[in-house]
Amino acid sequence: MATAPTPSGEGPRWEVFKQDTPSKPHQAVGSVHAADPEHALLMARSVYARRPAAVSLWVAPAEAVFAVTAEELAAAEPWSVEEAGEERLYQVFRKTSHRRAMTFVDHVGEVSAPGPRAAVAAARQAFPEPPALAWWVVPTARLSASPDDEAAAWFEPAADKTYKQQSAYGLLAPKKPGRSKGGDR
Amino acid sequence: MSASKAQDSRLDAELQQALVARLTAMADDELILGHRDSEWTGHAPLLEEDIALANIAQDEIGHALLWLQARSELDGSDPDELAFFREVGAFRNARLVELPKGDWAFTMLRQYLFDAFETELLSRLRDSRYPPLAEAAAKAAKEEVFHLRHSGLWLERLALGTDESRSRLTSALQRIWPYLPQLWQPLPGDAALQRAGIAPNPADLEQPVMARVSAALAALGLEPPADAVPNPGGRDRHGEALVSLLVDMQSVARADPGVDAW
């Protein structure tokens, strides 16, 4: 993988896509620093899926993500597409709402294109509605997914860990005077 | 617990005593390892690893709670009381888990070795004829798959990373190896538990754990130290490291024993 270590030694940055339920799309939730794809997936699980809900994670090196906003597209019309590259698959993500949310773009499908700019052009044709505020395209080959056969180990334990929720703690409850929990010491 | 399950779970006095001892050893291994892992919180080499290891520490302490709750059903003991008010001489953890956290290579290697042991232990406990134990083991086993993946990933990256990471890992291997066999040292009641189909004899875990660990080390061009002398003594013997760990771990609970909430 052509990802150079950063000067701080924390490794390259990876974008993380989390799927909350099988019927929902993978959504960009943030990023992690990690040495390689497998490490990035483990870090993503620890940082973004320690509380419910999640059923799948994808990671991609941040430098493999080609991102463009609707404003940038409008300013660049006509949108030029490079033709030189070899045809390959891209996964397409888009943002369609200004609603304040913990996530950014949602996965919408895939296109085949010779390069990222052509992939954006193909995505605009393939997924015209609703109008996208921003597009992300990522070569499918640069995405790594959490292993399906270990989904139970990765995601199920979080479901019954109520102690990971702030609401599990009586943080404001006063101390009851004169009551001891102690038995024989 | 349902009435029918309580029926299945009834044990005679000898088995009950043996199981209390085994559960205490299992819980103390998890609790002390979990606390050692938690010492990295705020200090791990990467922010992401800080969160990952804090998660794993919580998982291990959660496993300790599973075993202490199972013990509680047998003898009415209070898990919090056992964790936070027991004196050092009453702890039954293996020395391996109480050793100071060391560097990242030491922490990850210890975690890997314990994960390998726990994976083999849990896979057998899931078949226990004592239902509460089988259920708790199934729950913990799910998490252990992820733990082993995480520590195994670090074992590989430390071994194949840089000269420094490999030399740190090799030093950790020399230091830890003598403490490994104590994990599968049987307690006096373990033979009876095995006969009753309640828990495996820990001695039977040596072969599968060593096979797993040796294969992983060999794949990375590493060998266990040939001249390692196993640390002698039973689970009732501890080093100074456990004393200072308990001072730290128990300080908050002991500062205000009657408190119901923070």
Per residue in A41-59, pLDDT tens? 999 999 998 776 899 999 9
Tell me the DSSP string of A2-48: --PPPTTSS--EEEEEEESSTTSPPEEEEEEE-SSHHHHHHHHHHHH
Distances, alpha carbon B130 to alpha carbons B5, B127, B137, in Å: 9, 9, 11
Q: B2 or B112, which is more confident?
A: B112
Residue A146 has pLDDT above 50, yes or no: yes
Closest approach of chain B CAs to the CA of A63, in angstroms?
Answer: 19
Residue B245 has pLDDT above 90, yes or no: yes
How do strand A134-139 and strand A13-19 relate by DSSP bridges?
Answer: unpaired
Contact at CB, B62 and A164, closer than 8 angstroms: no
Nearest Cα neighbor of A19 from A49, A61, A40 is A49
Closest approach of chain B CAs to the CA of A66, in angstroms?
Answer: 24
Average pLDDT over every residue of B44-66: 95
Average pLDDT over every residue of B55-72: 97
Residue B236 has pLDDT above 60, yes or no: yes
Average pLDDT over every residue of B196-218: 97
Q: How far apart are CA B202 and CA B182, in angstroms?
A: 10
Contact at CB, B261 and A171, closer than 8 angstroms: yes
Instruction: Tabulate helix, strand, coil % of chain B (nearest 5).
Output: 70, 0, 30
Average pLDDT over every residue of B14-21: 97
Nearest Cα neighbor of B178 from B239, B222, B232, B242 is B232
pLDDT at position A167 is 73
Residue B2 has pLDDT above 60, yes or no: no
Q: B189 or B227, which is more confident?
A: B189
For helices A37-48 and B131-160, what crossing angle results, to 10°? 140
Q: How far apart are CA A24 and CA B61, in angstroms?
A: 33
Token pair 């909350």 is found at A20
Distances, alpha carbon B88 to alpha carbons B232, B242, B244, B249, B256, in Å: 18, 7, 10, 12, 20
Residue A184 has pLDDT above 60, yes or no: no
Tell me what ipTM this predicted complex has: 0.88
pLDDT at position B113 is 98
Contact at CB, A153 and B46, closer than 8 angstroms: no
Contact at CB, B150 and A11, closer than 8 angstroms: no
The per-residue pLDDT for range A62-112, each reduced to its tens digit, is 999 999 999 999 999 889 887 678 999 999 999 998 887 777 899 999 999
